[in-house]
A = this chain, B = another copy of it.
Amino acid sequence: MKMSKMYMPTLKEDPSEAEIASHKLLLRSGMIRQLVSGVYSYLPLGYRVIRKVEQIVREEMDVAGSQELLMSPIQPRELWEATGRWANFGPEMFTLLDRNSREFCLGPTHEEYITDLIKNEVKSYKQLPLNLYQIQTKYRDEKRPRFGLMRGREFIMKDAYSFDVDEEAMIRAYDIMWKSYDKAFTRLNLKYKVVEGDTGAMGGRVSHEFMAMSEAGEGFMAYCEACDYAATDEKATVVYNVENSNQEELPLEKVLTENVTTIEGLEDFFKIDKSSFGKALVYSVKGKPLVVVIPGDRELNEIKLENYLEISSHDIEMADEEMIIDITGANKGFTGPVGLKEGTRLLVDSRIKDMKNLIVGGNETDIHLKNVNYGRDFQGEVVEDLLMIRDGDICPKCDEKLKMARGIEVGNIFQLGTKYSEGIGAKYLDENGKEKYFVMGSYGIGITRTVAAIIEQSHDENGIIWPLNVAPYEVIITVINTKDEEQMNLSQNIYDELAKKGVEVLLDDRKERAGVKFNDRDLIGIPIRIVVGKGAADGMVEYSLRKTGEKEDINVNDLIKIIEEEFKNNGMAFKS
């Protein structure tokens, strides 16, 4: 492609709305443009990268025996009602009515749809296992779309679904997908970790997330360097050793704690560590009050809470002052588990049960209670683990200390079981002619998010550093002086020769200063660079790689060989 004809609207400055590198660079390099919040147009250079990432994922899915199809993004409401997910997704879903007032959503995912699709077509165990995938634009009306391609309201995803006869076969399918993802993300040059994930609204018990390591990621993971334990912060099991469980239970005391309403304030007031307190949080769940008590030195994990309650995140919010006053009889800051208004639901993290002589809010303004003990002074629903993991926590597998890191969730895999086949009523006949529900798995890769992750892991202050196999073009030839016939001819010859070999080449023949061309070249991140300047007269060109920047003057006759070598270094070959 001649750059004089290319649509590549680069920007000189970082756009003010962009916070992270991938967002800035995708905008600056003219690869994407925002239409409305969280919705992007993929411009020619950017779309070439997207298509290459798609193709790598497609190849690995095909090798793994998954078959590509394409479903509609439009999905009838009835299907989602059948599994209870219509309400579950709530405002996160774009919905629409057709001219006959039939209601649809724009699919955020396709479990219901595909289960319905195969429902009457796959009838026998002989047709199993089956694994189908698609690469398609998905929709999620995020409350806070942000970070460019990282969290959009519209994004391209590869989603696959497996159908099996039983749990064991499903786990085999799951393992095949896991390996396939490993191969895809390795080919995509990503540094990533596979971590246990929360299954959330998806259902099923087991899931894993593929997290590309990045400080720009919105995901947190806890991992152990001594063993292979790794989980998202939402999922990670918190080991919390109660130190004083053998202490004697002391008599309950009321303490005047005027205006002391925070854990920090109490620490100060009582001159005692946070871990001696019981922290009570008040929520409104579908309009009803809920009090949760956890150790004072920890944060509540809302995902664990939602999972326990079997609700979705838009069913729950912090209670307002009025509700707090109603159930405690006290101002905010003095809530505790003892003496709540009758009928108030109370959840207790299991560790609270063993902690002796807690200090908690007194349900009376300016009052706290000392020496409060579970069983003797209050009771509630005990929940195994409602705590958020943190750096330095004990590994639940090997007792070493966990580390925390941030990552970008580029893939996820779910063992769904029969949630969807039961909801939709999709059955097959087994060897004995007995009807059984399909046992399913579902597997996603965020294509556009992967593009962002690659950039987060591979860029410098001048721009993107594309791996060769996903670069929009593989080679760029910069002509220093386009008025110099010798330079233009040599450039054209190199261009033609490379194009003939199926190499994707850009020829920067724009009538711009060399500095502008070099800046754009760095910005858009083309891996292999050739500069044709004064040396053209002697058949000499400058050769360098984007990733090292080391320049070398080479004879044009050696060029093809050197480039071919670089292709080999990247596990690639010329196409023709």
Interface residues, chain A, CB within 8 Å of chain B? 5-7, 9, 30, 33, 35-36, 39-44, 47-48, 50, 65, 67-76, 91, 94-96, 98-99, 102, 106, 113, 117-118, 121-122, 130, 132, 137, 139, 141, 143, 153-154
A122 contact set on B, CB distance < 8 A? 7, 9
Cβ-neighbour of A99 out of B30, B36, B117, B143 (below 8 A): B143
23 inter-chain pairs at a CB distance below 8 angstroms, sorted by A residue, are A6-B67, A7-B67, A7-B69, A7-B118, A7-B130, A7-B132, A30-B121, A35-B113, A35-B117, A36-B102, A41-B69, A42-B71, A43-B69, A44-B69, A44-B132, A73-B137, A74-B94, A91-B99, A94-B96, A96-B106, A98-B153, A99-B141, A99-B143
Asked if A44 meets B72 with Cβ closer than 8 Å, knowing A94-B96, A113-B35, A141-B99, the reply is no
How far apart are A569's CB and chain B's nearest CB, in angstroms? 22
Q: Are B154 and A74 in contact (CB under 8 A)?
A: yes
In the assembled complex, the CB of A161 is this many whole angstroms from the nearest CB of chain B, namely 11
Among residues of B, the one whose C-beta sits closest to the C-beta of A4 is: B126
Nearest-neighbour CB distance to chain B for A79, whole angstroms, equals 9
Cβ-defined contact, B70 with A141, below 8 A: no
For A102, the chain B residues whose CB sits under 8 A away are 36
Give Cα A130 to B48, complex, Å: 18
Q: CB-nearest residue of chain B relative to A129?
A: B5
- Nearest CB in chain B to that of A154: its residue: B72
Q: Quick one: closest B residue to A78, CB to CB?
A: B36
Complex CA–CA separation, A71 to B44 (angstroms): 10
Contacts of A48 in B (CB 8 A): 68
- How far, in whole Å, are A478 and B183 apart by their CA atoms in the complex? 33
What distance in Å separates the Cβ of A449 from its nearest Cβ neighbour in chain B?
Answer: 16
Min CB distance A265 to B, Å, is 38
CB distance from A520 to the nearest CB of B (A): 15
Nearest-Cβ distance from residue A379 to partner chain B, whole angstroms: 40
New A-B contacts (5) at CB < 8 Å, excluding given A7-B118, A74-B154, A99-B141? A5-B65, A6-B67, A35-B74, A42-B69, A42-B71
Cα A132 to Cα B132 with chains together (Å): 32
Name which of A33, A65, A72 has the most chain B CB atoms within 10 A of its CB: A72
Q: Could you tell me the distance between the alpha carbons of A35 and B102 in the complex, rounded to whole angstroms?
A: 13
Q: How far is the CA of A41 from the CA of B143 in the complex (A)?
A: 30
Given A98-B141, A122-B9: A72 touches B117 (CB 8 Å cut-off): no
Which partner residue on chain B sits nearest A92 by CB separation? Answer: B99
Complex formed: what's the CA distance from A132 to B95 in Å? 30
A559 smallest CB distance to B (angstroms) = 25
Cα distance A187–B62 in the bound complex, in angstroms:
27
Taking CB as reference atom, which chain B residue is nearest A121? B9
Cβ contact of A44, chosen from B5, B41, B67, cutoff 8 A? B67
Check if B71 sits within 8 Å of A41, measured CB to CB: yes
Whether A47 and B70, one on each chain, are in contact in the complex, defined by CB atoms closer than 8 angstroms, is yes
Whole-angstrom CA separation of A71 from B46 in the bound complex = 12
- Closest Cβ–Cβ distance, residue A301 to chain B (whole Å): 26
Contacts of A35 in B (CB 8 A): 71-72, 74-76, 113, 117
Q: Which residues of B contact A106 (CB under 8 A)?
A: 96
A72 to B71, CA, bound (A): 17
Q: How far apart are the CA atoms of A122 and B43 in the complex, in Å? A: 13
Report the minimal beta-carbon distance from A243 to chain B, rounded to whole angstroms: 46
Q: How far is the CB of A18 from chain B (nearest CB, A)?
A: 17
Q: Are A36 and B67 in contact (CB under 8 A)?
A: no
Bound-complex Cα distance A35 to B76 (A):
9
B96/A68 in contact, CB under 8 A:
no
A464–B96 Cα distance when bound, in Å, is 36
Question: CA A71 – CA B132 in complex, angstroms?
Answer: 26
By the criterion CB–CB under 8 Å, are A72 and B39 in contact? yes
- The verdict on A72 contacting B143 (CB below 8 Å), with A7-B130, A94-B98, A96-B94 known, is no
- Determine the chain B residues whose CB is within 8 A of the CB of A94 once the complex forms: 74, 96, 98
A123: nearest residue on chain B (CB-CB)? Answer: B9
Q: B98 to A70, Cβ gap below 8 A?
A: no
A76→B7 contact, CB < 8 A: no
Complex contacts, A117 vs chain B, CB 8 Å: 33, 35, 41
Which B residue sits closest to A36, measured CB to CB? B76
